[in-house]
Structure 1
Amino acid sequence: MMKNYFVHPSAIVETDQVGADTRIWAFVHILKGASIGSNCNICDHCFIENDVIIGNNVTVKSGIYIWDGVIIEDNVFLGPNVVLTNDLRPRSKTYHARVEKILIRKYASIGANSTLLCSITIGEYAMAGIGSVITKDVPAYALVYGNPAKQHGWVDEKGTKLSAVGPGIWKSEEGINYKETENGLARI
């Protein structure tokens, strides 16, 4: 069967669940149970474990290890050396019955060298700055950074910071209004 995706000769791809037009670069290892969507870019020196789902149009930059229990929705960007965890109490040779999950919603962007504690959700269109240590859920459209990461405003779909125009109301440079909701931000 002919593959409709690219695999660098030094990569090891054990799964057959790889979407069309995905590119898998040098020294990547993807285990058998992983599912990778179409038009993804998995850069050099990445490892993807079995119980991982990666949507379409996802960019995984170099040096990222994606462990069991991670779900990455469509159009997500993970900067170089992002750290994803799945165990709140790690010990050598001690295996817990339950793997902790991370869910990264569509269009979210995580800056280089950020660390995500397990059992969190990153909301759609959220943006985490470089080196963020994310220890709790991030609302949709939120801009977070720091150690620990704290919210420093809101961004639009392009990642541009929004301006406050009233209580709970925000505006983009293009004049699009957003309102705060219990899950983050939503267009009005």
Structure 2
Amino acid sequence: MQDRPYYVHPQAEVEDGAEVGSGTRIWRQAHVRQAARIGEQCNIGKGVYVESHVSIGSRVKIQNHVSLFEGVTVEDGVFIGPHVCFTNDMYPRAITPEGQLKSADDWEVTETLVKYGASIGAGAVIVCGITIGQFALIGAGAVVTKDVPPHSLVLGNPARFHAYVCRCAHRLSSIQERDNQLSGWCEQCGTLCVFDK
């Protein structure tokens, strides 16, 4: 019996020094490193790896076998599909120029931010140093190499803009621009979305 306000599967590992919020569930073979932070009511799927100093907000759903490496910040309400991989080094090498194995001190971590309500499709690769905007939608298998504006749908390798999407993830129509803001109508849920360009 667990005497903590969150659930950890017996085959998962949460290291001492990790912070996990109330109501979060961490499933089989997941590994959460020390100094990682996970908010409340999250679902961390099978085989997820959360490295030290990764910050995950509340009500985040992370599907099976996602890798989140140091430098990644995920805000509240984000969905991350299975097998998504976040990178964290713009110039990766196993060895120094002199041929010595790199140590932790030799790595230059480049940060990545996933903002509130964004969704990342299965198998996407997120190259470090970018921001994924609020309610953006990353298509399955996309390779994201630059910032994704709020409410944008991006697809492909490299990922390119295809449409604007609602908070419910359906495409917006009748897009209008005014005072550096965009607005669009969602025929699926009947919402008028207004957001910064």
Rounded Cα–Cα distance in structure 2 between residues aligned with 1:131 and 1:159: 17
Structure 1 164/25 Cα, relative in aligned 2: closer, same or farther at 3 Å? Answer: same
Q: Which runs of 5+ in 2 are unaligned?
A: 95-100
Q: Could you tell me which amino acid in structure 2 is paired with residue 3 of structure 1?
A: R
Rounded Cα–Cα distance in structure 2 between residues aligned with 1:38 and 1:47: 18
**Alignment match, 1:33:** 35
Q: Could you tell me which amino acid in structure 1 is paired with residue 87 of structure 2?
A: T
Structure 1 residues 56-75: Cα deviation after superposition (integer angstroms, max 9, x where no partner): 00011111111101000001
TM (normalized to structure 1)?
0.90
**Alignment match, 1:67:** 69
Structure 1 134/143 Cα, relative in aligned 2: closer, same or farther at 3 Å? Answer: same
Structure 1 residues 24-45: Cα deviation after superposition (integer angstroms, max 9, x where no partner): 0001111110000010000001
Moved more, 46-55 or 12-21: 12-21
Q: Could you tell me which amino acid in structure 2 is paired with residue 127 of structure 1?
A: L
The answer to whether 1:94 aligns with 2:102 is yes
Alignment RMSD, CA only?
Answer: 1.7
Rounded Cα–Cα distance in structure 1 between residues aligned with 2:120 and 2:78: 8
Matches within 5 A, 1:1-188: 2-14=3-15, 15-92=17-94, 93-94=101-102, 96=106, 98-166=108-176, 169-173=183-187, 174-178=189-193, 181=196, 184=197
Based on CA coordinates, which of the two structures has the bigger radius of gyration?
Answer: 2
Q: Displacement of 1:178 after TM fit?
A: 4.0
Rounded Cα–Cα distance in structure 2 between residues aligned with 1:165 and 1:16: 43
Contact 2:44–2:62 (Cα < 8 Å) also in 1: yes
Contact 2:122–2:141 (Cα < 8 Å) also in 1: yes
Q: Could you tell me which amino acid in structure 2 is paired with residue 77 of structure 1?
A: F
Q: Displacement of 1:161 after TM fit?
A: 0.3
**Aligned to 2:169, what secondary structure does the other structure show?**
coil
Structure 1 residues 119-152: Cα deviation after superposition (integer angstroms, max 9, x where no partner): 0000000001110110000000001111110010
Rounded Cα–Cα distance in structure 2 between residues aligned with 1:125 and 1:165: 16
Q: What is the count of residue pairs matched by the alignment? A: 182
TM (normalized to structure 2)?
0.86
- Percentage identity across aligned positions? 40
Rounded Cα–Cα distance in structure 2 between residues aligned with 1:25 and 1:12: 9
